[in-house]
Amino acid sequence: MQRKVLGRGLGALIPDSGEISDNNLTYIPVENVRPNRYQPRKVFEEKKIAELACSIEEKGVIQPIIVQRKGDGYYELIAGERRWRAVQKAGLDKIPALIRDVSDSEAVELALTENIHREDLNPIEEAMVYKQLIDEFHLTQEEVSKRVGKDRSSISNYLRILKLPRIIREDINNDLLSMGHARAILGIDPPEKQKELRDMILKKAMSVRDVEAFIRNRKKKGQDKKEKQRDIFLVKGEEDLQRHLGTKVKIKQGKKGGRIEISFYSDEDLERIIRLIKS
């Protein structure tokens, strides 16, 4: 069952009937609109803006922007920055808008939570939305999860990618690496090794599965090497004890410790070994 999204969405700012008539709209000067200060999208594709501008020139603005009134006749966007940019490109002087009376904090939260559900936000932009919700509203990851209707583990994964080296974040921002690649890269340390893996991914055009398999093999080899080193240490210890005690010794190591097995072959042999140990 889909989790219910808490808080108000932009649906709460649109008339209950679901229909928008001219009576609900105000046509405001394009130049009097300002972008939302908390817009998570930092890059707008000019090609898509141009396509939308052509559509607006032909059919007009089908969906109004939503704004809140600011001082001196200005308005701040809550939703619709792409349409606002396209209207400017189309050379129109005014744009239809729904003006809503909300507090600054409500407008920020509405803009951020609504942007999360936009399919064209890249992982870095989405991660920044979660970070802003946490920083601006002092929410926990669990509270953000409930507020936007996503699992807490998803919120955590998005926030983790913000810790990746800058060059990798830029690759994700530019669609050179996917969220899956980012999660896989986070599976290794330190940052220098992450950058090396990033170079390999781009050079060999590795899929997410390729990267995951590479990391598994790398960890297995590291574990095998560690096991081999540990075995050498145990063997040397066994040899030293055997020379000192003059009998067979076996050292067995477990996850949290181990035990030493010392063999004896008669009561006299046992007494001899005990004397050596105590001496």
Angle between helices 141-148 and 104-116 (to 10 degrees): 70
**81 part of the active site:** yes
Q: Which of 51, 58, 76, 81 is catalytic?
A: 81
Distance CA 9, CA 90 (A): 29
In a 3-state reduction of DSSP, which class is residue 77? Answer: strand
Contact in structure between 249 and 261 (CB atoms under 8 Å)? yes
* DSSP 8-class letter at 255: S
Q: Which among 192, 171, 195, 81 has a CA at the least distance from the CA of 123?
A: 171
Bridge-based pairing of strands 249-253 and 258-262 is: antiparallel
Distance CA 273, CA 75 (A): 91
Which positions are catalytic? Answer: 81
